[in-house]
Amino acid sequence: MATPNFDKFKKYFNRRKSQIQEIVREPTAGGIIFRRNKAGEVEILLIQDGKDRWTIPKGHIEEGETAQQTTKREIKEEAGLDSVDVLSWLGKIYFRYRRVDKLVLMTTQIYLVRAKGNTDAIQKEEWMNDIRWFKFHDALEAIEYEDIGKLMLLAMKRIRQENL
């Protein structure tokens, strides 16, 4: 049996990613935003990012801001809704990803948020592919992140229990 010649594969083995040089923590906050439609059904607002993933409005906590303040600001910036009530904290979710030679550890505080006023006046930012209201079960199916889906179930439980 002939010995395999691995020389032609060396170029593939030498293409290592650069090693992680730094760990960065990024605190973020966002909201599971709901409204009731004319039929009284709960609808959830989702945004579709540039990679076609449905998620909730969220963003980085700026210096001097609380997580609740960030949630309201991000909802206004990303969805154009400025009349909202942050009702309660639902939980934290964790993401980690690599950014060149950094490991980014993102912690996102998620709140239950009621949209008020003209809730049809939503607007999408340039980086988004779409933004829209979904009936609750459709939103649960569309959401791309399992952890957010679990918090959506908790949100719906609170909406029903507290008759929001």
Classify the C-alpha dihedral 40-139-59-80 as positive or negative.
negative
Asked, for residue 151, whether it belongs to a domain, the answer is: yes
Asked, for residue 6, whether it belongs to a domain, the answer is: no
- Chain-wide mean pLDDT for the chain? 90
87-96 residue pLDDT tens: 999 999 998 8
Structure tokens at 29: 């906050």
Classify residue 143 by its DSSP letter: B
Average pLDDT for residues 141-160, to the nearest whole number?
Answer: 95
Asked, for residue 8, whether it belongs to a domain, the answer is: no
User: What CATH number is given to the structural domain containing 156?
Assistant: 3.90.79.10
Residue span of the structural domain in which 51 resides: 18-161
- Number of domains into which the chain is organized: 1
Q: What is the pTM of this model?
A: 0.84
Asked, for residue 130, whether it belongs to a domain, the answer is: yes
Asked, for residue 153, whether it belongs to a domain, the answer is: yes
